[in-house]
Amino acid sequence: MNLDHVFVCGHPVLDFAATLRARRSTRFEMFVTPDRLNAWYLESGLVDTVTPGTDGDVREAISLREAVYALVTGRRLGEDLDRQALGVLNAAARQVPATPQLTATGRHTDATPAQALATVARQTVELLSGPDAPLLKECGNPECTRVYVDRSRGMRRQWCGMDSCGNKIKAAAYRARKKAAPVPAGH
C-alpha cells in the first residue's frame, strides 16, 4: 500500500479518521512518523506550515483519531456516543487551535502539531453536531473502512471514492460476471 494521504471523504475529520486503513483486515497505519503526521496536516489544507513534531505528537494524534472514529461510527449507526472517546475529543478540543492570519497574499496558518490536532478536534465537534452528521456513510467496499459525507442526490453514493474503491469493486464484479458467463456454443 502506498504512503500517499488520500482525501476522498468530503471532510478533513473523516479523512483524518481514515488514516488507519482497512481496519477490519490488514490495518495499515499512515501516521508512522512525526513527519508523516505533519504531512497529513499540510496536505489536508488545515495548516500552511507546521513545526516539527515528536513521537508524542503521533501518539496523541492516533489517540484522537481512534476517538474520532469511534464517535463518527456511533453517530453514523445512531448509537450512544462512547464516553471515553468523548473525553478524549473534548480534552483535545479545549486546547489552543491553529489560528489563521491574514497576510498580503491571503490567509496563512502556522501551527504546532498540538495546535493542528486541536483544530481537528474542534472540526470533529462541528461535524458531529452539525447538518452533515446524518449524511455519514461507510464505504461499500468491505475492505475499506472510510466514512464519508454523502451529499449525492438521494444519498445514493456507495463508495468513499471511485478511484480508491468504486472502480476496484466494479472491475472485480465485472470480472466475476465474465468468469461466470456461459461460453456460447460453437466457441
Within 10 angstroms of residue 74's Cβ, the number of other Cβ atoms is: 16
Per the CB < 8 A criterion, the answer to whether 74 and 94 are in contact is: no
Residue 152: its pLDDT value, please?
Answer: 92
30 touches 3 (CB < 8 A): yes
Sequence-distant (6+) residues with CB within 8 A of 28 are: 1, 20, 21, 22
Q: What is the structure's pLDDT at 4?
A: 72
Please tell me the number of Cα atoms within 13 Å of 9 on its side-chain side: 28
Q: Which pLDDT value is given to residue 5?
A: 80
What domains sit in the chain, N to C, each tagged with a CATH number? 12-180 (1.10.3300.10)
Q: Which helix (H) or strand (E) holds 137?
A: strand 136-138
- Report the run of H or E that residue 175 belongs to, with start and end: helix 167-180
Residues of the chain below pLDDT 70? 1-3, 164, 166-178, 181-187
| CA distance to 24, 66, 84, 117, 120, per residue, from 3 (Å) | 19, 19, 30, 20, 21
What is the value of pTM for the model shown?
A: 0.87
What secondary structure does DSSP assign to 96-110, as a single string? PPP--EEETTEEE-E
